[in-house]
Amino acid sequence: MANVPADLKYTREHEWAKREGDRVRVGITAFAQDQLGDVVFVELPKVGAKVTAHQAFGVVESVKAVSDLFAPVSGEVLEINAELPQKPETVNKDPYGKGWMILVKPSNAGELDQLLTAQQYEEFVAQGGGH
């Protein structure tokens, strides 16, 4: 089983969300990057864009497939990882660290609590939720 940090929350679309004070940092899980294979392109929203929980906020493309990135929570994009478009391989190397994607100011903090816990996400993946 791929690495699933206990202090993060997860979506069924394989994004992680990390509470940082009143903000939420977002990326894709180690499982997701492993399934995608080598990431070759990442498209992120602009700073200031509004994202909506469970709706696409960007695109990740690998040698195998193109996938939408889904927002774990609704809110405004405060920062994006500007390095990713030039260095998409960071998503493979460090999905929970330097491979983060967006930093969101949530409009409804309650949404974070509705996400999967690390344990629930591990079970979801083990049950074939990845496919």
Partner 1 sequence: MSAYDKLVFELSSPGRVGFSLPESDVPGKPLAELLPRKFLRGAAPALPEVSEFDVVRHYSRLSRMNYGLDTHFYPLGSCTMKYNPKINEDMARVPGFARLHPLTRPEDAQGALRLMHDLAGMLAEIAGMDAVSLQPAAGAQGEFAGVLMIRAYHASRGEKRTKVLIPDSAHGTNPASTAIAGYEVVEVKSLPNGEVDLDALTREVGPDVAAFMITVPNTLGMFEPRIMEITEICHAKGVQVYMDGANLNAILGITRPGDLGFDVCHFNLHKTFTTPHGGGGPGAGPVGIKAHLEPFLPAPVVVKDGDTYALDDKRPKSIGKLQAFWGNFGMLVRAYAYIRTMGADGLRSVSDNAVLNANYIMKRLEADYDVSVPGPCMHECVLSARRQKRQGVTATDIAKRLLDLGFYAPSTYFPLIVEEALMIEPTETESKETLDEFCDAMIQIAREAQQNPAIVTSAPVTTPVRRLDQTRAAREPNLRWSPTR
Residues that bind partner 1 (CB under 8 A): 35, 38, 40-41, 61, 63-66, 88-89, 128, 130-131
Residue number with CB closer to partner 1 (7 or 123) = 123
The answer to whether 64 and 36 have CB atoms below 8 angstroms apart is yes
State the Cα–Cα distance between residues 130 and 28, nearest whole angstrom.
13
Residue number with CB closer to partner 1 (41 or 119) = 41
CB of 131 to partner 1, least distance (A): 5
CA dist 26 to 10, 36, 116, Å? Answer: 10, 17, 14
Nearest to 81 by CA among 67, 61, 102, 56: 102
Residue number with CB closer to partner 1 (39 or 77) = 39
CB of 105 to partner 1, least distance (A): 26
